[in-house]
């Protein structure tokens, strides 16, 4: 069962977010996009980890959830993305590269209250050349670990669960207290000229189409379930002669697969760059095509089973 929430790219966070994760049994969560001024304030006050208590959803939400804010987006430290032209690490430059990396990590560590620091590597569309990324990272991890006394830093690959366990253990051993935050992180702005508030209304056609698709999908799935599970005593029987008895079984399976594929097409629109309308135009056009395919499938299924119900002999 997952124990750590990973919410690094939503454009702000509502007060329901920590409550939902707490209610689902998560132990902690990682967020990233909060107002740039607030992030600066949190760094200065060493408030980048806290207990977040949100909207009341029951006893689980009353205690809040331990929350970590990423220091500098979810990208690799600047100059250490080997898919963006960063110098390859080798025996000649590993010491210099290690100095640069550990200096950056120490700068980031000043924003947190424990001796443990979570540092993501990668970014959108990264690790297409994973072997190269790991080859370079492994050389740095090995060099720094072998020279821990010199750098005052120990590097290791880690899961989120390991990070939170170690950070929590260190905090308990050293009597570190974390602040309590109540409320939300809206509106989101990543600089003075970029307030992410327009996405509530941007590309209204897409938003309307998604609601229309969802309603039709729900109707289609409900009618399919009723037709197969309730109306006909034998699920493989041919309903009212409208389905060939010899192919009734395959009809149910084919229709189910059509609905499943349509649901997959429609569900992609729940992506945070889709329903918000923050995607690029060619991506938006792809969403429209996918949702129209789902809509046509749903309407076809509804038409089929409504016709069956209307022609079924009551006696």
Question: What residues are labeled active site?
Answer: 9
Region of 271 on the Ramachandran plot (φ > 0 left; ψ -120 to 50 alpha; else beta): beta
Give the Å distances, CA to CA, from 121 to 33, 82, 156, 263. Answer: 17, 10, 12, 33
DSSP track, 278-289 = -S-HHHHHHHHH
Contact 181, 50 (CB under 8 A): yes
Peptide bond preceding 235 in cis form (omega within 30 of 0): no
Beta-sheet pairing, 4-7 with 28-31: parallel
DSSP designation for 74: B
Contact 61, 18 (CB under 8 A): yes
Contact 290, 265 (CB under 8 A): yes
DSSP track, 146-190 = HTHHHHT-------HHHHHHHHHHHHHHTT----EEES-B-S-EE
What is the Cα–Cα distance from 134 to 130, expressed in whole angstroms?
Answer: 6
Compute and round to an integer the Cα radius of gyration of the chain.
26
What is the Cα–Cα distance from 93 to 146, expressed in whole angstroms?
Answer: 16
């Amino acid at each position: 069962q997952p124990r750590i929430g990973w919410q690094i790219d939503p454009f702000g966070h509502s007060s329901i977010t920590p409550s939902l994760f707490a209610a689902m049994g998560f132990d902690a969560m990682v967020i990233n996009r909060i107002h740039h001024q607030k992030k600066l304030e949190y760094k200065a006050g060493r408030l980048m980890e806290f207990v977040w208590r949100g909207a009341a959803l029951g006893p689980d939400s009353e205690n809040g959830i331990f929350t970590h804010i990423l220091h500098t987006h979810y990208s690799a430290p600047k100059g250490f993305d080997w898919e963006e032209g960063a110098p390859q690490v080798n025996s000649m430059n590993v010491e210099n590269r290690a100095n640069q990396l550990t200096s950056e990590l120490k700068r980031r560590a000043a924003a947190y209250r424990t001796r443990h620091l979570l540092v993501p590597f990668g970014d959108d569309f990264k690790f297409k050349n994973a072997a190269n990324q790991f080859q370079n990272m492994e050389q740095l991890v090995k060099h720094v670990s072998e020279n821990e006394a010199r750098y005052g830093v120990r590097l290791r690959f880690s899961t989120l669960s390991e990070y939170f366990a170690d950070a929590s253990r260190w905090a308990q051993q050293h009597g570190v207290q974390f602040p309590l935050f109540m409320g939300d992180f809206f509106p989101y702005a990543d600089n003075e000229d970029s307030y992410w508030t327009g996405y509530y209304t941007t590309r209204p056609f897409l938003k309307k189409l998604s609601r229309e698709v969802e309603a039709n999908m729900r109707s289609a799935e409900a009618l399919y379930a009723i037709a197969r599970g309730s109306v006909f005593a034998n699920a493989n029987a041919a309903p009212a002669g409208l389905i060939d008895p010899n192919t009734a079984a395959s009809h149910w399976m084919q229709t189910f697969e059509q609905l499943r594929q349509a649901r997959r097409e429609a569900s992609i629109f729940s992506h945070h760059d889709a329903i918000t309308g923050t995607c690029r135009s060619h991506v938006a056009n792809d969403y429209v095509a996918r949702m129209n395919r789902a809509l046509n499938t749903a309407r076809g299924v509804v038409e089929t089973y409504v016709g069956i119900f209307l022609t079924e002999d009551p006696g």
